[in-house]
Structure 1
Amino acid sequence: MHILPLLLLGIWTTLVVSRNSGLRVQTQQGDVVGSFVTPTVRQFLGIPYAVADRWEAPSLPSPRQKPFKADHFGDSCIQTNSAFNLKFFKLTGFVVPNVTESENCMSVNIWSPSVDRKQQTAVMIWIHGGGFQFGTSNFPTYDGQFFVRDHDDVTIVTFNYRLNVFGQPNAPQLANSTTGVNFGLLDIDAAIQWVHDNIANFGGDPERMILFGQSTGSAVVDLYTIAHADDKKVKGVIEHSGSVSGGPLLGGVPNNAAVWNGLADAVGCGTSADDAQLACMKRVPARALEDAVVNTDSNFWVVIDNITVFGDVASRVAAGNFLKVPLLVGSTQHEEDIFVVAEELLPPSSFAQPLVTELSADLLTYTGFTCSAGVAALVRMNASVPAWRYQYQAIFPNTAEIAKTPEEIALSNYMQSAWVAFARDPQNGLTDFGWPMYDPASDSLIQLGNFFNRSGATFGRGDQLDFVCSKSDTLATITALVNNLLSP
């Protein structure tokens, strides 16, 4: 036999095997080809879900004529590697991956069970954090294969979205946009829509999708429930340490033209917020623009555009104007400790006095996380929406160089099982798992990994945890006192 027929036979066989094994999957833009990350888990990496020019709303990619090889992560969105962020990475042990960054970064990653396992699974869509300044789906902790390996009836999805000046430029010229000016949030909407439209071919059920996220990713989840009160795609949400509906922690700010103009001036585009300035800013190379953000110590936050982020969140939530789907919400007992002892948050040459720093950390944890989680859960309870509330209380001594303890592994497995139970059945899954729905006056606060059960949960009262939350004047007075103690 001639070599060409042999080669063609090999290609044909590969395509047939890919389809039979579930590794070749059809999407709206064309076929994608994944791989087995384990014998029972399929992995599809870096699939484009949208494209966009700088400071334009995302749109679907063009159809492809050839199969897309989904065997590696796509480019990460451009990061803000400021001194503070790098210090944060060091303190937390957060190892920044050696990733390629670009503006062409909108891609999704999917981990789904092999075709010989249950299909039409629940779909868990993860939204990473990073203060809208940094973050990527190409991070080892966000690898979804282990969830899918260890639990049936679940598919995991992660994705990238535009950040910092590329995600929310605060440009006055864009303030009247009818689509919204928080382009990173528009990317998130586009990713959720793409998953809904395509996930069935990967083995997921588009009618059983939940969102979950951490820190800013958690706030984004909450923002989604407020901006999409009538959404039919998302059937449940999990919020880890960030709830807009429960407080002002991560809401939007008014459009800040001064920050935009300062950056524009730094890159030679002037301070006149006109069309010529915007056109100039669009021509600045991406890395030069981001370097200027760092050098000018600029901070580009999500802005109130009343499309993706609203200025009347409190009244909207109080009126029940949010997506009424089951909620699992919580925070960490010592959320702010690492920030308080960070060098940037203490006076030069000072030393971290235990009493003052612990008090400061506890106050910030309460005002920023604990109280807002309690309000977010209470709002749902009062609207007759199923809600569960947890507080992560575990403290483990291990570092990156020390192996995880058996209790830590057991707690991880326990929490994963609970999260999957919620994803499978947001209405009843956690009740069946043994967790009571939240009521602040009953033992329904789920306390994870504390002294009494390091590998599971104990239950306490939310109103006791939140006792100080209603003492806003007292909290403000104590916070001012602590700040004075920390001042030079």
Structure 2
Amino acid sequence: MINRRTLIGAASATLIPGHAWGQSTAPVRTPAGALQGTTEGGMRVFRGICYGRAERFRAPVPVPAQTGIQRADAFGPVAPQSGGRYGAQSEDCLFLNIWTADARPTARKPVMLYIHGGAYSGGSVTDPLNDGQVLAARGDVVVVTVNHRLNAFGYLYLARLDPRFADSGNLGQLDLILALRWVRDNIAAFGGDPNRVMVFGQSGGGAKIATMMGMPAAKGLFHRAATMSGQQVTASGPLNATARTRAYLGKLGVRENDLDALLAMPREKLIEGLAAVDPILGGGVYFGPVLDMKWLTRHPFWPDAIPQSNAIPMLLGNTHDETRAFVAPGSAKMRDLGWDNIAERIAPELRIDILPEWVIAEYRARFPNWSPEQVFYDATTCGRSWRGQVIEAEERAKAGAPGWVYQLDFGSRTDPRRGAFHSLDIALVFGTLGAEGSQTGTAADARAASKAMQDGFVAFARTGDPNHAGLPRWPRYGLDKRATMVFDVRSRIENDPRKWQRELFARVPYIQPGT
């Protein structure tokens, strides 16, 4: 008999080619019910644990404790989104997964909870790069990965149009907060310490973490935070968010005074609406957390680092060549790039209001031997992707909050033109060097960079400080030296790397894309 679980298992099994799904083991008994996972590579693995339910455009609610033994041996469906690379999709997507070596309450291991990237519109922790087995085994930690609602299902701001949907602009955030509450209440049964929960996330995952640091509902649910190329200095303003909602509704042909039509539409139709043109930025409509004055009552890092989270140790990182992931070296924009057209092409990629001709002239004077391509990628990385992290690190340093900063210099081994591009650090931290989608390679150099990153993250999860015997001393980030760990084949500390670029772009206000 083919049932929902069979279909989900079949879909998820295709995500990790050659993955050896393990044998069932004795169930783990938790306050949420008894859960039966599998054993794989000496690890206890629990997939597809439902942590909440939600109606469309409404806040999630906890799942009542289950009777009997619930199977946890296959990924749950992923959040609805464009494309189908991650497997079966459903609005019923509030599922988490756990890897642990010792599912006993007395083990009290650090917990590392990962939030995936994909901005706020796509992605899933069912991606093979996010498999927690290697990290859990190497670090002797409990790894948790979480899916939640995305795009219009998680961030369509309807509150100003219909009071029934007062929570709609931050539903994806509320899903994550509910997942953290589930972890607080149940993770001890899997050998985890509910008082040592570290959240870490790449790109949009890091931005979601930065946002949660400013949400009162998340207070006390995590005790360390690490963001990997993911910042959220400001949230979407409610007026801009409403303008985007109107553009989205217009694409679907829905009147703003009749949102029942939106409730009745199949999810596939709502995904089609994501092609609406963003009235602020152009391109596809942006979704993200909203300053709704209910769940999010101030910006996360403006005008300062929110005091609520300044006691939480924080690790902030970026890659050296972020934008080589967004604008491919072989793309039309780069193919005939020269000094005669670089200003025109770089302007929209900087995402800040700065004179592009001046930026190019400054770069050429500073780096006379650089090619147009080198200038393009460095300027867009420093002006667009790195800037938010600098601001967050500075604001925490001003507040005396414990923080450490890293930069990934280790570059792609399968396509060297891409360098240390946005998302390359995922495989290094998880240790999934040979997984589908990884570009690190599996040679000794990749293993060395991965070891340095994994051990730093694990030390941070364990103690709230990333220092360990295998790394040079990693000082806290301060405005005097701006100490930065540069992860590479041989990792090292540099003080104020890219100082010139930091000061160049600090001449103009930073505007968080989408806000």
TM range (shorter): 0.7 to 0.9
The one-letter amino acid paired with 2:443 is: T
Residues 265, 473 of structure 1: CA spacing in aligned structure 2 closer, same or farther, 3 A cutoff? closer
Structure-to-structure mapping, 1:10-21, within 5 angstroms: none
Residues 72, 318 of structure 1: CA spacing in aligned structure 2 closer, same or farther, 3 A cutoff? closer
Equivalent position SS for 1:416: helix
Whether contact under 8 Å (1:211, 1:221) holds in the other structure is yes
Corresponding position of 1:410: 448
The one-letter amino acid paired with 1:35 is: T
Structure-to-structure mapping, 1:4-43, within 5 angstroms: 23-39=26-42, 41-43=43-45
Equivalent position SS for 1:447: strand
Map Cα deviations across residues 365-407 of structure 1 (whole Å, 9 max, x no partner): 1123333323322322332222111110112422569952210
Corresponding position of 1:279: 260
Map Cα deviations across residues 61-116 of structure 1 (whole Å, 9 max, x no partner): 133222110000000001134xxxxxxxxxxxxxx745000100000100011358
User: Which of residues 44, 47, 69 is equivalent to 1:45?
Assistant: 47
Q: Distance in 2 between the 1:216 and 1:192 partners?
A: 17
Q: Distance in 2 between the 1:165 and 1:345 partners?
A: 31
Whether contact under 8 Å (1:46, 1:72) holds in the other structure is yes
Map Cα deviations across residues 322-366 of structure 1 (whole Å, 9 max, x no partner): 44211111111111123234788839xx63449334323222211
Q: Distance in 1 between the 2:106 and 2:449 partners?
A: 26
Residues 164, 240 of structure 1: CA spacing in aligned structure 2 closer, same or farther, 3 A cutoff? same
Corresponding position of 1:482: none
User: Which of residues 336, 348, 355 is equivalent to 2:371?
Assistant: 355
Deviation at 1:422, TM superposition (A): 0.5
The one-letter amino acid paired with 2:500 is: F
Equivalent position SS for 1:330: strand
- Taking structure 1 as the reference length, the TM-score comes to 0.78
Q: Distance in 1 between the 2:331 and 2:260 partners?
A: 36
Corresponding position of 1:289: 270
Whether contact under 8 Å (1:330, 1:390) holds in the other structure is yes
Deviation at 1:149, TM superposition (A): 1.6
The one-letter amino acid paired with 1:367 is: G
Q: Distance in 2 between the 1:402 and 1:329 partners?
A: 21
> How many correspondences in the alignment?
423
Deviation at 1:223, TM superposition (A): 0.8
Residues 419, 118 of structure 1: CA spacing in aligned structure 2 closer, same or farther, 3 A cutoff? farther
Whether contact under 8 Å (1:340, 1:357) holds in the other structure is no
Is 1:74 paired with 2:95?
A: no
Q: Distance in 1 between the 2:238 and 2:337 partners?
A: 35
Residues 471, 187 of structure 1: CA spacing in aligned structure 2 closer, same or farther, 3 A cutoff? same
Corresponding position of 1:420: 458
Whether contact under 8 Å (2:77, 2:93) holds in the other structure is yes
Equivalent position SS for 2:376: helix
Residues 416, 315 of structure 1: CA spacing in aligned structure 2 closer, same or farther, 3 A cutoff? closer
Structure-to-structure mapping, 1:235-314, within 5 angstroms: 235-245=223-233, 248=234, 251-255=235-239, 256-269=241-254, 271=255, 273-274=256-257, 277-294=258-275, 297-310=284-297, 312-314=299-301
**More displaced, 415-424 or 429-438?**
429-438
**More displaced, 227-236 or 187-196?**
227-236
User: Which of residues 147, 157, 167 is equivalent to 1:170?
Assistant: 157
Map Cα deviations across residues 430-457 of structure 1 (whole Å, 9 max, x no partner): 26663222234337211111xxxx2x31
Q: Distance in 2 between the 1:401 and 1:340 partners?
A: 17
Corresponding position of 2:499: 466
Structure-to-structure mapping, 1:77-476, within 5 angstroms: 77-81=79-83, 97-115=85-103, 119-152=107-140, 154-171=141-158, 172-174=160-162, 179=167, 181-228=169-216, 231-245=219-233, 248=234, 251-255=235-239, 256-269=241-254, 271=255, 273-274=256-257, 277-294=258-275, 297-310=284-297, 312-317=299-304, 320-341=307-328, 346=333, 351-353=336-338, 355-398=371-414, 403-426=441-464, 428-430=465-467, 434-442=473-481, 444-449=483-488, 454=489, 456-462=490-496, 464-472=497-505
Deviation at 1:289, TM superposition (A): 1.8
Q: Distance in 2 between the 1:117 and 1:155 partners?
A: 12
How many percent identity over aligned positions?
A: 26
Whether contact under 8 Å (1:235, 1:325) holds in the other structure is yes
Q: Distance in 1 between the 2:409 and 2:38 partners?
A: 38
Deviation at 1:221, TM superposition (A): 0.9
The one-letter amino acid paired with 1:305 is: D
Corresponding position of 1:10: none
Whether contact under 8 Å (2:315, 2:403) holds in the other structure is yes
Q: Distance in 1 between the 2:41 and 2:79 partners?
A: 28
Map Cα deviations across residues 160-203 of structure 1 (whole Å, 9 max, x no partner): 01011111112243478654631111101111111111101111
Q: Distance in 2 between the 1:355 and 1:65 partners?
A: 65
Equivalent position SS for 1:339: coil
Q: Distance in 1 between the 2:245 and 2:386 partners?
A: 33
Deviation at 1:409, TM superposition (A): 1.4
Equivalent position SS for 2:290: coil
Residues 447, 98 of structure 1: CA spacing in aligned structure 2 closer, same or farther, 3 A cutoff? closer
Equivalent position SS for 1:260: helix
Q: Distance in 2 between the 1:373 and 1:293 partners?
A: 28
Q: Between Structure 1 and Structure 2, which shows a larger proportion of helix residues?
A: 1
Q: Distance in 2 between the 1:232 and 1:164 partners?
A: 27
Gaps of 5+ in 2: 1-23, 278-283, 339-369, 416-437, 510-515
Residues 175, 215 of structure 1: CA spacing in aligned structure 2 closer, same or farther, 3 A cutoff? farther
Whether contact under 8 Å (2:251, 2:276) holds in the other structure is no
Deviation at 1:279, TM superposition (A): 1.2
Q: Distance in 1 between the 2:413 and 2:446 partners?
A: 10
Corresponding position of 2:60: 58
Residues 206, 345 of structure 1: CA spacing in aligned structure 2 closer, same or farther, 3 A cutoff? farther
Whether contact under 8 Å (1:316, 1:322) holds in the other structure is no
Deviation at 1:51, TM superposition (A): 0.2
Q: Which runs of 4+ in 1 moved over 6 A?
A: 342-345
The one-letter amino acid paired with 2:382 is: Y
Equivalent position SS for 2:371: helix
